[in-house]
Structure 1
Amino acid sequence: MPFSAQAVVPGDDALGLTPPTLPPPEIPEEPFPGFRLAKVPFDREFDSPVMLATMPGREGEQVVAMQRGEFCAVKIHDSSWRPFLDFRERMKGIVLFEEGVHGIAFHPQFATNRLFYLSYTQNEPRRRVISEMKATAGDSPVAMPETERILMEIQQPLADHWGGHMLFGPDGMLYIALGDGGLRDDPYALAQNPWVLHGKVLRIDVNGRSGALPYAIPADNPFAKDQLVRSEIFALGLRNPWGLSFDATTGDLWLADVGQDLWEEINLIKPGANYGWSHREGPLETAFHPKPLIAGTTTTDPIHSYSRLRAEGICIVGGHVYRGTKLVGLNGAYLFADWGYGHVWALEMDEERVPTRRLMLHHGPAEHKFNPTLVTSDPEGEPILLSQEGTIYRLETESAD
């Protein structure tokens, strides 16, 4: 989950910290009026929704995953829903703020093989589970829990910074974003440790097997032939990543990363790249790990970051590049939000992915109960926002019917 907001404010004597001098904003922020959040009029709430995944071969149907274990198949265009999977018994006792279900992804050939994948947490021992499951055939497929096959179980030191989003790429591989394992400062430096999976983006092939593994390591993974790095790793150096998405036009992989004290990040994920945490946060080095874990480490700065110390926000929520047709002026912009402030932005970029402007599409007033947990899209590519209190919103023009 993205909701680990540990803020340090100027003059925080209790912590004995002196906030650093922040660089000036990289790009201007401008209001961009003409948009609104419109509730999709379902006849129920979706408590703590964390993911909305499109079901291949099911025209207009998606599945919303809820943190405490309920999954519903929904159609945004007519506000209909039906049960898909009830995992609440499995999630009994999973009650801490960031624990629970974090992701669902449908196999690209779901229409014929009925396979889908889950990302969720369990206790005793505390761990992340990545599993495969089948759905029934027919016109209204539902999950068959008895078919579950475990792909990964990753022990977690603490009960936060899980990450957990996942999706299939255009290459047919499954991408999984994992957090650093918890607590402040990444005390075990797991995000930089190349032999653990915490704080990483993983890439696996669910259609094959490598040795005794229940999945295959793609031969073109950046560390597939490196004995010093886990071969599942695609990218590393992340804290609490949330909101994996591929640009439908360019194939670029985008990922937001929730910060600790200073910075919220938007990263363009490249194979083998290291995004710096916990040696770096945003564009700056950290005071608590002033040297990289491994000498000579090269890191990649975020495409864009905003700061808590400027009161811009406290918890970033990804995020996708808009490629729909209804929102004039936003094509090619990266849409994202802040869970704490309820803001919704569009990041304009040039052809080299260099940001030029940050556009405020929705300013989150404190009295409005809106805590976005994901910025995603409907099957036609139009923006959908999930909110923690249970509402699903469209982002649309004020002139929309």
Structure 2
Amino acid sequence: MNSPLPRAVIAGLLSLCGPALAVPDEVQPTVEIPVIPAVPAADIPESPMGGVGLQRIRFDREFDSPVMLATLPQGNGEQVIAMQRGEFCAVKLDGSGEWRSFLDFRKRMEGIYLFEEGVHGIAFHPEFEKNRLFYLSYTQNDPRRTVISEMRASDGDKPVALPETERILLEIHQPLADHWGGHLLFGPDGYLYLALGDGGLRNDPYRLAQNPWVLHGKVLRLDVNTRTGNLPYGIPKDNPFAEDQMVRSEIYALGFRNPWGLSFDSQTGHLWLADVGQDLWEEINLVKKGANYGWSDRDGPDAAVFHPTPLIPDTATTQPVHAYTRMRGEGLCIVGGHLYRGEQMPALQGMYLFADWGYGTLWALELDTQGERAVRRHVLHRRDEGSKLNPTLVTADVDGEPVILSQEGALYRVEYIEEIAQE
């Protein structure tokens, strides 16, 4: 376990926010923190897992600021990389280096340049082979907003996006310039899930994450195959607040700051989500229907000192499965994350893989027999001095083997070192 950081260093880190998930310090308000908390004891042990390393996947280009990797559901092995500044490429991660353009959205992204602005996600409809539909999450300005849209792709075994078919499903106006989240994917139930941040900046100043009548700081669940009233999407009848007039019916779960890395476990169907913290904590959540994960009444596993009174009295909250802290020098900004269910690395079976953008560390979180509580953290990789590795997503290839997207434009496999040495 790393030794605790000096208090002066801790104080300097308290203003940082996250991976492709923050705005520069100079535009953030200064907040006085009267007392730096004592360094908490580790809640679970940590140990290195030997024999594991990263291998860069070879391409004749870089994929600048990749934010998501989604599988084209055609069975030909292609996956689409979404890049923050508007480029989407279909690639094969089989070592062939094959890539082709899927969608060029860079014109749409002109003038979108702040650290968190841009493309945030792509998800293909479960019936894509029949209906050719896919979904995008991205930001726009004037007014500043998150856009969720539907688009069609061409027929054939090498589909490309058809931008003229875009249909806007949802626009969420953003009060400030960061904490937008934006990852989206389809669940095993066929519904579209979307993770949204609190809208920024520090301390969730408008208390949006706990406000049940706004969509900020929430995980949403939408039925893209139906329509409810005049909405361009449907509300699943079993959404937890579908019949509650006091809560937006799109909400599946709430209380998130800046969620990044939304994934379903292919075996259990559990929904996992990493949430980027503010000053002290980075956390991993097992997201359940109707649950409240605390922000900004809570910060990680603790009560938030900046909001001593809950927005809504007597609110029950759910603790994270695991949280690590900047006070021990463990990292700065968490990046999710998925449960490993591949075949090539049996030692990782059933573990949650995640990383830290700021430190370039990759971990595997060992869970209890129920698969819901952390019992040990294994270090798979620590960034070498001089390395450009800044993970933006821990995901998987078409076979379920782990892939790391990195902000500098590279993709990496997680492999046994013996295999890497043979290449």
TM-score over 0.5 for the pair: yes
- Structure-2 separation of matches of 1:16 and 1:212: 46
What count of residue pairs does the alignment treat as equivalent? 397
Contact 1:341 1:366 (8 Å CA) reproduced = no
Percent identity, aligned pairs only, is: 68
Structure 2: gaps (5+ residues): 1-17
Q: Is the 8 A contact 1:221 1:231 kept in 2?
A: yes
Who is 1:197 aligned against? 215
Instruction: Label 1:86 to 1:31 Cα distance change in 2 as closer, same or farther (>3 A).
Output: same
Partner of 2:227: 209
Which residue number in structure 1 is paired with residue 83 of structure 2? Answer: 66
Residue 269 (structure 1) aligned to one of 287, 294, 319: 287
Amino acid at match of 1:326: Q
* 2:394 is equivalent to residue 393 of structure 1: no
Distance in 2 between the 1:68 and 1:7 partners?
18
- Amino acid corresponding to residue 89 of structure 1 in structure 2: K
Superimposed CA distance per residue, residues 213-232 of structure 1 (whole angstroms, 9 cap, x where no aligned partner): 00000000000000000000
The residue type equivalent to 1:260 in the other structure is Q
Aligned to 2:71: 54
The 2-side partners of 1:178 and 1:116 are apart by 19
What TM-score, normalized by structure 1, do the two folds share? 0.97
Q: Which residue of 1 aligns with 2:110?
A: 92
Question: 8 Å contact 2:22–2:178 — kept in the other structure?
Answer: no
Aligned letter for 1:46? F
In the TM superposition, what are the counterparts of 1:173-322 in structure 2 within 5 Å? Answer: 173-322=191-340
Measure the CA separation in 2 of the matches of 1:348 and 1:38: 23
Q: What residue ranges of structure 1 are gaps of 5+ in the alignment?
A: none
CA distance in 2 between partners of 1:204 and 1:94 (Å): 27
Residue identity in the other structure for 1:387: S
**CA RMSD, aligned part only?**
1.5
Counterpart for residue 38 of structure 2: 21
**1:363 maps to what in 2?**
382
Deviation, structure 1 residue 16: 4.2
Q: Secondary structure at the match of 1:399?
A: helix
Q: Residue 358 and residue 305 in structure 1: after superposition, are their counterparts in 2 closer, same or farther (change >3 A)?
A: same
TM-score in terms of structure 2 length = 0.92
Query: Which residue of 112, 125, 138 corresponds with 1:107?
Result: 125
1:146 aligns with 2:153: no
- State whether residues 91 and 99 of structure 2, in contact with CA within 8 Å, keep that contact through their aligned partners in structure 1: yes
Q: Is the 8 A contact 1:103 1:118 kept in 2?
A: yes
**Paired residue secondary structure (2:347):** coil
Is the contact made by 1:27 and 1:358 (CA closer than 8 Å) also made in structure 2? yes
Q: Which residue of 2 aligns with 1:37?
A: 54
CA shift for structure 1 position 309: 0.8
Cα pair distance change 1:95/1:114, threshold 3 Å: same
User: What displacement does 1:23 show?
Assistant: 3.0
> CA separation in 1, counterparts of 2:293 and 2:176?
22
Compute the displacement of 1:291 (Å). Answer: 1.6
* Residues 22, 115 of structure 2: 8 Å contact kept: no
Give the AA of the match of 2:154. T
> Is the 2:150–2:167 contact (alpha carbons within 8 Å) kept by the matching residues of 1?
yes
Deviations 1:225-278 (A, max 9, x none): 000000000000000000000001110000000000000000000000000000
Question: Taking structure 1 as reference, are residues 140 and 187 closer, same or farther at Cα in structure 2, changes over 3 Å only?
Answer: same
Give the distance between the partners of 2:346 and 2:208, measured in 1 at CA.
43
Work out the CA distance in 2 between the residues paired with 1:54 and 1:67.
18
| 8 Å Cα contact 1:55-1:63 kept in structure 2 | yes
CA 334–225 in structure 1, closer or farther in 2 if over 3 Å, else same: same
- SS of the residue 2:129 aligns to: helix
Tell me, in whole angstroms, the C-alpha distance in 1 between the residues paired with 2:157 and 2:241. Answer: 41
Secondary structure in 1 matching 2:418: coil
Contact 2:22 2:179 in 1 (8 A): no
Amino acid at match of 2:146: R
- Residue of structure 2 aligned with 1:381, choices 361, 383, 400: 400
List per-residue Cα deviations over 1:64-100 (Å, max 9, x = no partner): 0000000000010122100000000000000000000
Aligned-pair distance for 1:22? Answer: 3.9
CA contact (8 A) 1:6 1:260 kept: no
Offset from partner CA, 1:41-73 (integer Å, 9 cap, x none): 011000000000001114211000000000000
Give, in angstroms, the shift of residue 177 of structure 1: 0.1
Instruction: Give the counterpart letter for 1:300 in structure 2.
Output: T
Instruction: Give, in whole Å, the separation in 2 of the partners of 1:165 and 1:88.
Output: 19
Native 8 Å contact 1:7 1:308 kept in 2: no
| Offset, 1:292 | 1.1
Aligned residue identity for 1:15:
E
